[in-house]
Structure 1
Amino acid sequence: MATTVGGFVLWSTGNSDARAVQRQAALIDHAMRGYFTQQVANQESWTIWDETVAHTSVDFDPDWIDENLGTEFYDSYGYEQTAVLDGDDRPVSLMQDGHAVTPSFLEPDMVGIMPLVVRLRGEIAAGALRAYLGGARASMPSAQDYVVIAGTPAMVTVAPIADTATYPERPFLHVAIDFLDGDYARYVGESNLVDDAAFRTAASGDPESATLPLLNNAGRIIAFLEWRQDWPGKRLLSETAPVLGGALLLAGILIVILLDRLWRYSTELDAGRIRAEHQANHDPLTGLANRAGFEAQLALHAADERRSGYLALFMLDLDRFKQVNDTLGHPAGDQLIRCVGGRLANAVSGPGMIARLGGDEFAIIEPSLSGPAEAEALAHRLIEIIGQPFEIFGNEASVGVSIGIGLVGDASTSPVELVRRADIALYEAKAGGRNRAMVYDTGMDVAVHQRHSIEAELREALRSPDQVGVMFEPIIDAMTGETVGAQALPFWQHPQMGGVPRDLFVSVAEGCGLSEPLGERVLRAACRLGSNHPGRVISVGVSPAQIRSPKFFSRVFDILAETGMRPGNLEIEITERVLLGDPEGAGEVLRKFRAAGIRIALDDFGTGYSSLNFLKQYDVDHIRIDRAFAQDANEDRSTLAMVEAMVGLAHAMNITVTAKGIDTILQENRFAGIGCDRLQGAFVSRPVSIEAMEAILAGGTGTEARPDAA
Structure 2
Amino acid sequence: MADKRKASWGSGELYDLLCLMMLGTCVWLLGVQLGAFRSLDRLIIEHNLADLFKLGFFMGLGAVAASASKSLRLRRAMRERDAAEARAAETARHDPLTGLANRRLFAERLDERRAGGSGGRLSVFVVDLDRFKPVNELYGYEAGNAVLRAVGERLVRTLPAESTVARLDGDEFAALVESGPGGEGLARLAQGLIAALSAPVTWLGHEIKVGATVGIAAAGPEAGSAQAVLHAADLAMGQGKRDGRGTYRVFESAMDEALKARARLEADLRVAIDAGQIEPYYQPVVALPGQTVTGFEVLARWRHPEHGLLMPSAFIPVAEETGMIGDLSYLILRRACLDARAWPNHLQLAVNIAPQQFQDSELALRILAILTETGFQAHRLEVEITETAIVQDLEATRATLGALQALGVRVALDDFGTGYSSLYHLRELRFDKLKIDRSYVDSIAEDHERAKLVDAIIKLGNSLGLVTTAEGIETKTSVDWLASQGCDFGQGYLFGKPMPRAEIDRRLNEGLLDTGPVAPKRDAVSKPVLIEKIEKAA
Q: TM-score, normalised by structure 2?
A: 0.67
Q: Quote the Cα distance in structure 2 between the aligned partners of 1:345 and 1:662.
A: 55
Q: Quote the Cα distance in structure 2 between the aligned partners of 1:314 and 1:16.
A: 53
Q: Percent same amino acid among aligned pairs?
A: 27
Q: Quote the Cα distance in structure 2 between the aligned partners of 1:645 and 1:659.
A: 13
Q: 2:145 aligns with which of 337, 340, 347?
A: 337
Residue 123 of structure 2 corresponds to 311
Q: Deviations over 1:7-53 (max 9, x none)?
A: x9996227899xxxxxxxxxxxxxxxxxxxxxxxxxxxxxxxxxxxx
Classify the secondary structure of the residue corresponding to 1:480: coil
Q: Quote the Cα distance in structure 1 between the aligned partners of 2:432 and 2:88.
A: 61
Residue 13 of structure 1 corresponds to 13
Residue 300 of structure 2 corresponds to 490
| 2:330 corresponds to 1:520 | yes
Q: Residues 613 and 290 of structure 1: is their aligned pair in 2 closer, same or farther, counting only changes over 3 Å?
A: farther
Q: Residues 599 and 288 of structure 1: is their aligned pair in 2 closer, same or farther, counting only changes over 3 Å?
A: farther
Residue 366 of structure 2 corresponds to 555
| 2:216 corresponds to 1:406 | yes
Q: 1:285 aligns with which of 63, 85, 97?
A: 97
Q: 2:188 aligns with which of 363, 371, 374?
A: 374
Letter in 1 for 2:159: G
Q: CA deviation at 1:595?
A: 0.8
Classify the secondary structure of the residue corresponding to 1:231: helix
Alignment check: 8 A CA contact 2:94 2:105 kept:
yes
Alignment check: 8 A CA contact 2:298 2:336 kept:
yes
Residue 593 of structure 1 corresponds to 400
Letter in 1 for 2:103: R
Letter in 2 for 1:461: A
For residues 149-548 of structure 1, the aligned pairs below 5 Å read 229-231=74-76, 275-300=87-112, 306=118, 308=120, 311-319=123-131, 321=133, 332-343=140-151, 345-346=153-154, 348-351=157-160, 352-368=163-179, 370-371=184-185, 373-374=187-188, 377-378=191-192, 380-381=194-195, 384-385=198-199, 403-408=213-218, 410-414=220-224, 415-431=226-242, 438-465=249-276, 467-528=277-338, 536-548=347-359
Q: 1:690 aligns with which of 492, 501, 509?
A: 501
Alignment check: 8 A CA contact 1:345 1:354 kept:
no
Q: Deviations over 1:555-609 (max 9, x none)?
A: 22321332344545433333455567xx23xx3432122112044434334444x
- How many residues in Structure 1 have an aligned counterpart in Structure 2? 445
Name structure 1 gaps, 5 residues minimum: 1-7, 18-206, 211-227, 234-264, 706-710
Q: Residues 418 and 478 of structure 1: is their aligned pair in 2 closer, same or farther, counting only changes over 3 Å?
A: farther
Classify the secondary structure of the residue corresponding to 1:681: coil
Q: 1:664 aligns with which of 475, 491, 496?
A: 475
Q: TM-score, normalised by structure 1?
A: 0.53
Q: Quote the Cα distance in structure 2 between the aligned partners of 1:633 and 1:691.
A: 34
Q: CA deviation at 1:503?
A: 0.9
Q: Residues 472 and 346 of structure 1: is their aligned pair in 2 closer, same or farther, counting only changes over 3 Å?
A: same
Q: Quote the Cα distance in structure 2 between the aligned partners of 1:308 and 1:633.
A: 57
Alignment check: 8 A CA contact 2:390 2:421 kept:
no
Classify the secondary structure of the residue corresponding to 1:463: helix
Residue 60 of structure 1 corresponds to none
Q: Quote the Cα distance in structure 2 between the aligned partners of 1:556 and 1:525.
A: 13
Q: Residues 399 and 302 of structure 1: is their aligned pair in 2 closer, same or farther, counting only changes over 3 Å?
A: farther
Q: CA deviation at 1:524?
A: 1.3
Classify the secondary structure of the residue corresponding to 2:213: strand
Alignment check: 8 A CA contact 2:319 2:325 kept:
yes
Q: Deviations over 1:153-183 (max 9, x none)?
A: xxxxxxxxxxxxxxxxxxxxxxxxxxxxxxx
Q: Quote the Cα distance in structure 1 between the aligned partners of 2:376 and 2:504.
A: 16
More strand by share: 1
Q: CA deviation at 1:547?
A: 4.0
More helix by share: 2
Letter in 1 for 2:143: Q
Classify the secondary structure of the residue corresponding to 2:223: coil
